[in-house]
Structure formats: C-alpha cells, structure tokens
Amino acid sequence: MHGGVKFYRGAPRAARAYVERDRSRADDYYLAEGSGVAMRLIATPDGVRSLGGMTGELYEQWVAGIDLDTLTAKGHIRTDDNAIRFVEVVVNGPKTWSLAAALYPEVSAALDRAQDKAAIEIVSWIAAHATTRVGPRGRQVQVPVESIEAAVIRHYTSRAGDPHRHLHLQINARVWAASAWRGIHSVGVRDSIEAINGIGHAAVATDPEFRAVPAAHGLTVDPETSEIRELAPYVGAFSARAAQIRRNVDRLEADWRDGHPDQEPGPRMREVWDRRAWAEARPDKVVPMDGREFVDRWNGELHEVGYRDSANAVPLRRTLPGWIDRDAAADLVVSMLGARRSAWNTADIRGKTEVLLAQTALVADPAARIELAEDVTARAVARCTPLLTRRDVPEHVRSLTSPGVLAVEVTSSPGSPGAPITPPICNIPTASPRIRKSPSTTTPSAR
C-alpha cells in the first residue's frame, strides 16, 4: 500500500462525484444498485463497529458533518472553502493482486475480505492515535479523540477501466473528544501516513486466507515486493492498453469541456466517452457493455499478451511470528530509518516495521501480527534518542533519532559548516531479521 493523505474541502454534494470519478463503468457490475455509496464505520476505545451502508443522500450529510443518528450538526461546522470535510487515504496493493482477482473468483473474494480487515485495522489505529485541540487560541493543547467515524468506498477498477482493487478510506473531520464535537488534528494524521500505509499493506500481504488461495491456483508472492511473480511480467503490456483508453477518454472530455465551459458531465456522458474510447483503442474488438464483459475482456487481454493459467497448486512458503528475532528486527528498523533521515516519529517506526514483517514472508492471523508489530515498534522506540526533552511533545512530531545518527553529526567537520555528513561508522544491516530455524518452512496450500 502506498500513497499520501488527501484533505477534501469541497462541497458535500460534490463528494459523491469525487469518489465516482476514481473508477470506471466496469464497477457497475460489482456495485449493485441500492447497495449504497459507502460503508460507515465508527471507532471508539471499545473497538470498530460497522453501521451499515450509506445512500448518496446520507453520504452527503455525513460529509457535511451531520450526525446521522440524531440528524443534527456535529457542533460548530465551518462553511468556508478551507473547511476540511474528511481526511482520505487509499487502501491498495500491487497491480498483480487485482489481475489475480479478475482471473479467479476465489482470489477476488479473499482480497475483498483482506482489504476490509485492513480498513478496520487502519481506522482502529487512527482512533487510538488521533488528537484534537482544546482551549483558547494561542493556548490550545492536544487531547486524544474518543470517537471517530469513517466511510469506506470500494472500487474494483481504475479510471482507465482496468483491474485495480482499492478502498477509499475517509475519516470524518468531526470527532468526539472532551465532551464535545471538535475538528480532527489533520497534521497529526498526515504525519502518520507511514503507519497507515504500512498497516494497510501488511494486513493484506500477511493475511492467511489471501495468501493461501492464490497458492492453490499456482500463484506465488515475492516477499520483497509482494507482487505475484507469475503475473508481474504482464503488467506493463496490460497497463499500456488501459492507458491508451484512458488517454482517449481524457481527450474526449477535454473536447467536451471546451464546448461546455460552465457545465459538469453526467454519468451518461461519461459512459459515452468510455464506449468511444474503447472502440478507438481496440477497433477489432466488441465494446464491453457490462461488468461481466469487462472481466472477460481483462482475462482475454492477459492471455493475448502471453499469460497462461497454472494447472498445479504450489506450497505456501511462510514465516511464522515465533520465528522472528524481535530484537534484530528492532535494530534493523532503527538502522533503516537512520539511513534515510535524521529524525522520525513512532508512526514512522510502526510503518517501517509492518513493511519489514511482510518482507520476511510472514503469514499470521491479524491478532498475532499486530502483537508482533507493536512489540517490535516498542523495542525500536526504546533504542531511539529523543531530540526534545519536554514530556508533552505530540506523538506525531518527528522528535526521535538514534545514537548512530547523532554520531554522524558529531563526526562531521566542525570547521566546515557546509561539509557533508560522513557515513555512519557502524554497518547498516540490509538483510531481513534473523529467522529461527524450523524443521519445515512450507505449508501445503489447500485447494
């Protein structure tokens, strides 16, 4: 999972169009009519609960800061153009995951479930670490939030119309804390992006079901990149054709906007562009009319560029949590952070830890992986040196460093302020954490 944090400041009515523009008409096959625009989640210290789907109208109210349970405003809501409506991250993964999901319905279902669990983990972590500010201007202090709400929008395709499984995870800007509705501290969420991305990636990449089902179809995962090896060679050629269709759509939209400067295109016009773009890109092929035909087209494209299904299952090679040397992992995380920057925060450590665990080929239930990641993160934090001595330093501030980084600063030439920093004296480990030997490192995959 990769990407940054987006702050949505638009009108509530435009929010639905905003998320709908990030997919193609092919999603209509998956998004059954009446199923709602988004799933609503609420997170408190007691955990994360799903409150069901939201229709377009309810979603607009949710974006506007209306409490859907009481239909009243969540405190004083700003209405100016700079008012943040929600903070968004995208839960995604390598393109090969989406291609495998298009090929095999079982992989599709397993990936959906794994991404759903990843979204819940992310919301839970944000609820535990997000803050808001309390007090008069100039004397505000940050306090933990007590309740947050999130919307999850599932998309199966990219705007180019090719397979791209991803979730839009939107954290409402209005949070409950200190007996009142308040605005979330958006800078704190932005500075937590490494943890958010790392948790989202590892939650899917280490999920036992998601890892076992592809193996049953002869697909193997590269621990370093999390790409499915058998599909990786075909991503470039497949994406090139999809990009051609996207360019055609962009050209058609630009031409339309030149003639309609004060209008916004509707769903029917966008559908016309989709059909024209596809017909221009592949004139010798039938233009897909529904989602099922899109899936058949994707699979046909893959086979045209050379992909062949595997007839045999492969063993699921995996690392178990107990085989990880936690101290070695903590040392490596600190060294990796110090090799790229001079200061970091706890969220940076957690994100690097999650990615590192996924790269060891870890396969574990969420509870076991979370405990392992939290423990390695705590050990890594204990190995760091604080740059600020105050006790009230907000968690999101990058105020941690390491003795190795400080040693580099000390050994730089004191007589030349502009001299480059010399490399660390110690060698920075580059291998994965040591894995304790086990009689067997493979588990037969289930068909």
pLDDT digits (tens, 9 = 90+) for 267-316: 678 777 777 776 776 555 545 556 677 788 888 888 888 888 887 899 99
Average pLDDT over the chain, rounded to an integer: 83
Q: Are strands 66-67 and 72-73 parallel, antiparallel or unpaired?
A: antiparallel
CB 74 within 8 A of CB 181: yes
Tokens of 357: 């665990």
Q: What is the mean pLDDT of residues 359-367?
A: 95
Res. 141: pLDDT tops 60: yes
Name the DSSP class of 90.
E
The whole-number pLDDT of residue 297 equals 80
Percentage of residues in the chain with pLDDT exceeding 90?
53
Q: Are strands 316-317 and 385-386 parallel, antiparallel or unpaired?
A: unpaired
Number of H helices, E strands in the chain: 14, 16
Q: How far apart are CA 307 and CA 285, in angstroms?
A: 19
Name the DSSP class of 282.
-
The whole-number pLDDT of residue 73 equals 95
Write the pLDDT tens digit of every residue in 227-253.
Answer: 999 999 988 877 766 677 778 888 888
Q: How far apart are CA 326 and CA 374, in angstroms?
A: 11
**204 φ/ψ sector (left φ>0, alpha ψ -120 to 50, else beta):** alpha
| Total-model pTM | 0.81
* CA distances to 124, 146, 176, 178, 280 from 131, in Å: 13, 9, 10, 11, 51
Q: Does residue 210 sit in helix, strand or coil?
A: helix
Q: What is the mean pLDDT of residues 43-52?
A: 91
The whole-number pLDDT of residue 293 equals 73
| Per-residue pLDDT band at 426 (split at 50, 70, 90) | very low
Length of the chain, in residues: 447
Tokens of 135: 């007090």
Domains and CATH numbers, the chain: 6-216 (3.30.930), 318-414+422-441 (no CATH)
Task: Supply φ then ψ for residue 386, to 5 degrees.
Answer: -70, 140
The whole-number pLDDT of residue 240 equals 67
CB 332 within 8 A of CB 349: no
Q: Exposed, middle or buried, 150 (CB in 10 Å: 0-12/13-18/19+)? A: buried
Res. 329: pLDDT tops 90: yes
Q: What is the 3-state secondary structure (H, E, C) of 361-389?
A: CECCCHHHHHHHHHHHHHHHHHCCEECCC
Res. 266: pLDDT tops 70: yes
Tokens of 396: 């999101």
CB 172 within 8 A of CB 329: no
Q: Are strands 174-177 and 163-172 parallel, antiparallel or unpaired?
A: unpaired
